Structure 1
Amino acid sequence: MLARANSDPTFMGRIITGEEAWVYEYDTLTNQQSSEWRPKGTQKSKKPRQSRSKVKVMLIVFFDIRGVVHYEYVPTGQTISKKYYVGVMRRLPDAIRRKHPSLCANNSWILHHDHGIPESAYKKSFDN
């Protein structure tokens, strides 16, 4: 990739990377929100330690050197099957077209994806 990037200055700008990640819900407070008034000489109240929420959702995100191109939250209870992921991949070009029309005009974008099961399912669906 480095050799290609050195010979083609537009190469890195054409790469769109995809990733899946679990996103947890946190209830965070700013310093101002967590401040409290206390009389002089009293101790600070103990704050509970922040822990990971049991509420989590799968995020599928695609990004390039300019930022996020497309993202989708997987509905709770939805299995990420071949059929589901192919749907995500079919919506991706429309998102790229909206964010970076020049990449779609000449079909010059390059998808770089992790080596997870969804990617394999996507590839197999188009190989058959």
Structure 2
Amino acid sequence: MLLKYSKADSRWHSEVTTGDETWVYFYDMRTKQQSSKWIFEDEVPDTIPKRFMTVGKRMFAIFFTTRGLLEFVMLPAKHTVTAAWYTEYCLPKVFQTVETLRPKPGISGMKFHHDNAPAHTTRRTKEFLDNQA
């Protein structure tokens, strides 16, 4: 696909918006004083901070185009993606951002790419996307 659309005259790929979800983990890093240790004169001090127990994690839905990051949406704490959240909160926010950046009004002509996660393939999500076109 990259070879097919690598020509300078191809504008189709610029209409593709890709989205996916990921967990972002937060770590509690040691302070400088907590990390200090005695070393001999000929030893090289450690410079790489070590990660410790996870303090928490949050789910993010991230969307990007060929131009870079388009939008990221953070889910509430201890929540995962559902069709209701995806269609009522996440996608409207993404489409609002798309409309402000595109010269064409609305989202017509936009190619939307996401995986086959249950929240993306439900009838509710499909109907929502059909109504946006």
TM superposition score normalised by structure 1 = 0.70
Q: Which runs of 4+ in 1 moved over 6 A?
A: 35-40, 45-48
Distance (whole Å) between structure 2 residues aligned to residue 85 and residue 75 of structure 1: 12
In the TM superposition, what is the alpha-carbon distance from 1:107 to its structure 2 partner? 2.3
* Residues 126, 40 of structure 1: alpha-carbon distance in 2 compared, 3 angstrom cutoff: closer
8 Å Cα contact 1:24/1:52 also seen in 2: no
Is 1:95 the counterpart of 2:115 in the alignment? no
**Structure 1 position 25, deviation (Å):** 1.1
Instruction: Give the helix-richer structure, 1 or 2.
Output: 1
Deviates further, 115-124 or 68-77: 115-124
Change (3 A) 1:39 1:52: closer
**Runs of 5+ consecutive residues of structure 1 not aligned to the other structure:** 30-34
How many Å apart are 1:52 and its aligned residue? Answer: 5.8
Partner residue in 2 for 1:68? 69
Q: 1:118 aligns to what SS in structure 2? A: helix
Q: Which moved more, 1:55-64 or 1:76-85?
A: 76-85
Contact 1:23 1:57 in 2 (8 A): yes
Go from structure 1 to structure 2 and tell me whether the alpha carbon gap of 1:38 and 1:76 turns closer, same or farther (over 3 Å shift). same
The structural deviation recorded for 1:64 is: 0.6
Unmatched runs of 5 consecutive residues or more in structure 2: none
Percent identical pairs in the alignment equals: 22
Q: Which string of whole-angstrom CA distances, capped at 9 and with x for unpartnered residues, describes residues 24-55 of structure 1?
A: 113569xxxxx979787275479873246241
Return closer, same or farther for 1:104/1:67 CA change in 2, 3 Å cut-off.
Answer: farther
